[in-house]
Chain A
């Protein structure tokens, strides 16, 4: 289709020195100009370009997976990504954990007045690149501007749609005693990368966020093992929280082995310094998979053959336990509970 004729707004918005103003969210001419000059060039596609308040989509047949997530990360730019790419990856991954192929996203922006337009442009372009790489289109969106002090720069909400292959049923309540637990790679990279930039915590690290879209890794996994029980991405609360969620949903216990956990040396060192436990630190490009024992070797093989699963590992087993404990055999030779995170993970002082 041909692009609609460009409207004239007089002076173009100043993408170098300009800032977001309350008028940019008021629904008037200023907002139309912001969309046309900043959002559209980056995100242009047939649905968005129609300029309607909704996108009308023909979906392929099959069950639809829907997920929504809001992104409030601070700082907005961090080693290995930014809030824009994260907002795409986070929702793409939540949709993909159902086994679905993600197709479309919506994007809602809540922007604080005074936010630099150059940063907004950088973030929107990063979203566009991330969406392109994940083969999803951002089909509709919304922009609101709030007064200074009412948002921490910028918040983004994305909602994703995907189609689940016919023979795939993944769910957190399907783990059974004897099943195997796998992770797709190193733990805690995202949390440590973001924390390294937080005020008062500044320390130098080469750690990059692992923020990445996992839909293609999921595709090869469900193709190889259609009977896969469950996938989940261990974001906030880390691996420990994800395993506890699944254990409770499925009514089982779990036992993992500390010696099998893939943790980058830099992440382990940073956690040591800050008094954090990497099991509770966030990931944005990793998944936990649970499969039948007989499928574990094949699943691990296809995961390791994929670029996003090179450091995949089999970390433990599902067991029968009426109390739904997640236990860990420590590298030291003992046992401990891997409990739900209580409150926020805060550093210890001594």
Chain B
């Protein structure tokens, strides 16, 4: 495949691996967090870890929108889907996630709810036009990447005066989550945030630009390299982070120059700002309540806000106490440190956020990497 195979070339990978090995300094620690589930997935799917020296440890961050969506918000979607007048539209990877009592959207569909898998907010909007007698609700999830299309759909519905379209908004913000991880009590207890640098998001950064990370790169003295999602992008970004750490630099560098600029997509930012405003707080599965970390629909567009349109109540639902997702997302534990991993918590019956989507740290490790730790599995 043209423009894809070039970024997955094994020969280039082994050359980059050699350069990383040569760059790594003895005694220096390189604990790097890839924020995005897209990176986590690429690292495991292509076996990037096998090409890295022992000194470089990858920590898998909370950048998987499916994983961090709290069960209580999914329960709201399930409640909506149970209404006979509602067609609930959802992205595909949200369908399998269990809500309270193990009920997922997929199961609800099997029991008669009208739930459609869509590829974009525009698909949901089109469905609303075609089905004027039904309430079409778009279950909007995602970071800054999927927010602009949701904003466009709401603006379009407003302009067309569509009376049967609304959005259950769960859009969340990347920088707030990164700051939360750096400020976490666990990190403070250890006395040192166990993260030496960040692999910054690819698609999110296309929208928000590299300047969005400058504040915490300086404030927390952590280098950031914005990285593409292909495995060679990841390798090159790791090399750039290793070099920054060696030099004692904490800059925002851009590896993904074929798509990301410093300012980002200004037009997309403007549309998002027109439709959405910051929520004062939002619960993240695995991280807990994070202030100013999510978006809600502005008053002007209230008619398209499912939370105002339908009687919905948010009830927070706790994960199993033994679940180590919070520690894993902050880089202080590995999936295999969790007592539940691969025993009671599997991709078939996930108990915590990191197992619910293939982009989650635990699911990626379970699905692609668990031969690395056979001893753990033998006990399972």
Contact = CB atoms under 8 A, between A and B. Distances in A.
A330 interface: yes
Nearest to A327: B371
Given A337-B370, A350-B65, A332 B119 contact: no
Contacts of A330: 10, 45-47
Nearest to B50: A334
Interface string A312-342: 0000000000110101011111111101001
A349 interface: yes
B371 A335 contact: yes
Contact of B367 (A327, A329, A339, A344): A339
Contacts of A336: 44-47, 368-369
15 contacts: A200-B123, A323-B377, A332-B46, A333-B50, A334-B49, A335-B50, A336-B47, A337-B369, A339-B367, A342-B348, A347-B91, A348-B359, A349-B65, A349-B141, A350-B145
A323 B369 CA distance: 13
A336 B348 CA distance: 19
Nearest to B235: A332
Interface string B324-354: 0000000000000000000000111000000
Contacts of A259: 10
Given A332-B47, A344-B106, 8 more contacts: A323-B374, A331-B46, A333-B10, A333-B13, A336-B46, A343-B348, A348-B357, A349-B141
Interface stretch (B92-100, B241-249, B304-312): B92-100
Interface in B109-133: 116-119, 123
B222 interface: no
A335 B46 CA distance: 7
B93 A347 contact: yes
B44 A349 contact: no
A142 interface: no
Contacts of A166: none
B142 interface: yes
Interface string B73-100: 0000000000000000001111110000
A332 B231 CA distance: 8
Contacts of A135: none
Given A323-B377, A333-B50, A349 B347 contact: no
Nearest to B359: A348
Nearest to B90: A349
Contacts of A346: 92-93, 95-96, 117
Main SS at interface, chain B: helix
6 nearest A-B residue pairs (beta carbon): A334-B47, A334-B50, A342-B347, A346-B92, A332-B46, A336-B368
Contacts of A342: 346-348, 367
A201 B119 contact: yes
A132 to B, nearest CB: 38
B45 A349 contact: no
B118 A200 contact: yes
Contacts of B17: 333
Contacts of A297: none
Interface of B: 1, 4, 8-10, 13-14, 17, 37-38, 41, 44-51, 65-66, 91-96, 106, 116-119, 123, 141-143, 145-146, 203, 231, 346-348, 357-359, 366-371, 374, 377-378
Contact of A350 (B203, B348, B358): B203
Contacts of A327: 371
Nearest to A347: B92
A267 to B, nearest CB: 10
Nearest to B145: A350
Main SS at interface, chain A: loop
Interface residues of A, number: 30
A272 interface: yes
Contacts of B346: 342
Contacts of B371: 323, 325, 327, 335, 337
Contacts of B41: 348
A279 to B, nearest CB: 11
Contacts of B46: 330-332, 334, 336
B170 to A, nearest CB: 12
B142 to A, nearest CB: 7
A268 interface: yes
A200 B115 CA distance: 12
A349 B117 contact: no
Nearest to B229: A350
Contact of A265 (B1, B38, B116, B145): B1
A349 B347 CA distance: 18
Nearest to B49: A334
Contacts of A200: 116-119, 123
A350 B38 contact: yes
Contacts of B8: 331-332
B48 A334 contact: yes
Contacts of B119: 200-201, 347
A59 interface: no
Contact of A343 (B13, B38, B141, B347): B347
Nearest to B120: A349
A322 B378 CA distance: 9
Contacts of B359: 348
B93 to A, nearest CB: 5
Contacts of A332: 8-10, 13, 46-48, 51, 231
Interface centre among A322, A327, A334, A337 (most CB of B within 10 A): A334
Interface string A83-102: 00000000000000000000
A339 B363 CA distance: 11
B140 to A, nearest CB: 11
A184 to B, nearest CB: 23
Contacts of B123: 200
